[in-house]
């Protein structure tokens, strides 16, 4: 894979964080939630504002660089990756879309991870002089400030709501991406910043590629583990890697994962190019990436046999995290429904 020198340099800087800062804590975060202050450290490490221009304090690598970094984090901790991805997609995306420096500064600052209530069908929006978001959102990654999409009379509206204004919030325990801060929200608040339908769709597409990149990282981690395990585990007097039943799982998982990764990279590039087909490309990427991650993690568990089922190995967590990716923002069928109109438009 050939990245631009700029993205290469960023990956070179972020790469070492994986083993040093993320991997040792991933299991604990999964049990107990992300450490307080982790958002601040992410900000220090330069993980916020990846897609923002360098002139405004960002990394200037666009969504292309963002997916590269998120994929890398996800190989160590899915929960952290999804928070970084959503923060970048929603909070930084909203600030960039509105050209709002104050909001961008807040997003880059590391006060906390900004959450996302996206395709929720429960939120409505009213715009008089200010945008007011009202209604309920279920099981969304949202434990601080949130970016929420509400349905208004003239299409969707996207707004930024400060944590203090969010109102009733009930934390939910999830089975995957456990540290992502899942909650049910009852919103009835003025948005401090708001954007229109087009921006709402763009942010949703950014979230999709973020979820896709997370899924691709989880899949890669599972495949790497399965390869390592297959080499050393012996049965019937030989490494199980010698059996075609094992080799096939590895080859299929790696091929499907790479296919999904290419779709993810392409969708990120289309977003950076502000192309008309970016939203469809993002939906396809999320669809393929989540499917391939669930399959790869499930096959990796099978390669590990009974050990894969225990918490001694990270495979069961990877599988739970991958499965949870399909619950973020849009499920498989929402994604399929999103791309059908594009097909009709081209072929009818």
* Binding site residues, another protein, CB under 8 A: 1-4, 64, 223, 227, 230-231, 241, 244, 247-248, 250-252, 254-256, 258-260, 262-263, 265-266, 269, 273, 281, 284, 287-288, 333, 335-337, 339-340, 343-344, 346-348
Closest CA to 107 of 92, 93, 96, 86: 92
Question: Which residue in the block uniquely carries the two structure tokens 């495949």?
Answer: 223
Residue 96 or 241 having the CB closest to another protein:
241
Least CB distance to another protein at residue 326 (A): 15
Distances (CA, A) of 283 to 234, 264, 266, 291: 41, 9, 12, 12
Residue 128 or 346 having the CB closest to another protein:
346
Q: Count CB-CB contacts under 10 A for residue 168.
A: 11
Least CB distance to another protein at residue 66 (A): 13
Distances (CA, A) of 335 to 65, 77, 331: 23, 25, 6
**DSSP secondary structure of 130-150:** SEEEEEEEEEEE-SSSEEEEE
Least CB distance to another protein at residue 346 (A): 7
Residue 105 or 273 having the CB closest to another protein:
273
Maximum CA extent, the chain: 75
The DSSP element (H or E) to which 89 belongs, if any, is none
Three-class SS state of 195: strand
Least CB distance to another protein at residue 124 (A): 26
Residue 254 or 327 having the CB closest to another protein:
254
Rounded distance between C-alpha atoms, residue 167 and residue 136, angstroms = 11
Q: Are residues 160 and 145 in contact, defined by beta-carbon separation less than 8 angstroms? A: yes
Residue 180 or 282 having the CB closest to another protein:
282
Quote the DSSP letter at residue 35. P
Residue 34 or 279 having the CB closest to another protein:
279
Residue 178 or 230 having the CB closest to another protein:
230
Least CB distance to another protein at residue 221 (A): 14
Least CB distance to another protein at residue 310 (A): 24
Least CB distance to another protein at residue 303 (A): 12
């Amino acid at each position: 894979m050939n990245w631009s020198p700029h993205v290469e340099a960023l990956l070179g800087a972020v790469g070492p964080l994986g083993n040093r800062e993320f991997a040792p804590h991933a299991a604990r975060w999964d049990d107990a939630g992300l450490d307080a202050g982790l958002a601040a450290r992410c900000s220090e490490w330069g993980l916020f504002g990846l897609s923002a221009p360098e002139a405004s304090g960002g990394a200037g690598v666009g969504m292309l660089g963002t997916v590269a970094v998120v994929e890398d984090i996800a190989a160590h901790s899915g929960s952290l990756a999804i928070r970084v991805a959503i923060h970048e997609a929603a909070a930084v995306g909203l600030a960039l879309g509105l050209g709002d420096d104050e909001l961008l500064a807040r997003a880059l600052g590391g006060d906390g991870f900004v959450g996302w209530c996206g395709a929720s069908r429960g939120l409505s929006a009213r715009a008089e002089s200010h945008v007011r978001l009202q209604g309920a959102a279920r099981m969304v990654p949202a434990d601080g400030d949130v970016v929420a999409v509400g349905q208004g009379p003239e299409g969707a509206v996207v707004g930024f709501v400060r944590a203090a204004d969010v109102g009733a919030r009930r934390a939910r325990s999830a089975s995957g991406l456990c540290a992502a801060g899942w909650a049910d929200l009852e919103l009835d608040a003025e948005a401090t910043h708001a954007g229109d339908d087009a921006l709402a769709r763009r942010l949703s597409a950014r979230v999709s590629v973020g979820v896709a990149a997370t899924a691709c990282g989880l899949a890669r981690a599972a495949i790497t583990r399965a390869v390592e395990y297959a080499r050393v585990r012996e049965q019937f007097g030989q490494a199980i890697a010698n059996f075609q039943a094992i080799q096939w799982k590895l080859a299929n998982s790696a091929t499907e994962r790479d296919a999904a990764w290419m779709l993810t990279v392409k969708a990120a590039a289309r977003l950076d190019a502000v192309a008309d087909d970016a939203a469809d490309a993002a939906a396809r990427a999320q669809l393929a990436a989540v499917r391939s991650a669930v399959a790869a993690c499930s096959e990796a568990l099978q390669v590990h046999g009974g050990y894969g089922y225990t918490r001694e190995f990270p495979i069961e967590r990877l599988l739970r995290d991958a499965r949870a990716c399909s619950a973020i923002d849009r499920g498989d069928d929402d994604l399929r429904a999103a791309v059908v109109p594009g097909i009709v438009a081209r072929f009818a």
